Amino acid sequence: DIQMTQSPSTLSASVGDRVTITCRASQTVNNWLAWYQQKPGKAPNLLIYKASTLQSGVPSRFSGTGSGTEFTLTISSLQPDDFATYYCQQYNSFSTTFGQGTKVEIK
Amino acid sequence: EVQLLESGGNLVQPGGSLRLSCAASGFTFRTNAMSWVRQAPGKGLEWVSAITSSGADTYYADSVRGRYTISRDNSKNTLYLQMNSLGAEDTAVYYCAKRTAGVFDSWGQGTLVTVSP
């Protein structure tokens, strides 16, 4: 199975900060990489797919880059609603895997 | 509006069985692959199982293969997960998710499965 490793595990930031989360795959996943946001007690919400394509309705302050084995999620200016946990997901095959998550906390 | 409503979660003893259901509405269920994803308390997301739109092909995580069975009834717009030989490690919120081109673009609210004596 393809292993996904996110860094950092926790990130403390302030409103207005630029935030970057990294996701690394144990082998190439091409561009088959998605990002999700999850708030406590809620289901995850798809933000980005195919590494850099913004899901409909997601604010443009979210962006994704990368290919192969290294990917990043960037929030250009952190908003109060963005404090949450973020997961990457590779879907290079039907057997998909998630990263362990990155919690974005208020500094 | 896409709606996915899971049910069937409960407290079950180790070694027991449980069947989860997911009622779908707001989209053409029979043309979409579906999956189950779980989340243990305080932990991350773990993909559990997937099924193609027709139900002809199924896929499982190593952690549940041989114990869980995914199925669907396209006439009832319902997805199922039969879980057998449950252990403490299966305790989690189980989400039903609509799978579009590999990603999970709609999720249910989740149903809690607790495995405990």
Which of A50, A96, A103 would you mutate first to test chain B, the one with the most B CBs within 10 A? A96
Q: How far apart are CA B110 and CA A40, in angstroms?
A: 13
Mean of pLDDT values over A17-21 = 97
Taking an 8 Å cut-off on Cβ atoms, the answer to whether A46 and B103 are in contact is: yes
pLDDT digits (tens, 9 = 90+) for B69-110: 999 999 999 999 999 999 999 999 999 999 999 999 999 999
Instruction: Determine the 3-state secondary structure of B88 from DSSP.
Output: helix
* Residue in chain B lying closest to A86 (CA): B44
Taking an 8 Å cut-off on Cβ atoms, the answer to whether B105 and A99 are in contact is: no
* Residue in chain B lying closest to A44 (CA): B107
Taking an 8 Å cut-off on Cβ atoms, the answer to whether B110 and A43 are in contact is: yes
The pLDDT of residue B19 is: 98
pLDDT digits (tens, 9 = 90+) for B29-41: 999 999 999 999 9
* Residue in chain A lying closest to B39 (CA): A43
Decide: A32 and A91 in contact? Cβ < 8 Å: yes
Contacts of B46 in chain A (CB under 8 A): 98
Instruction: Show the DSSP H helices in A17-70 as ranges.
Output: none
CA angle B110, B112, B115 (to 5 degrees): 150
**Which token pair is B56?**
């002809």
**Interface residue B103 vs chain A (CB under 8 A):** yes
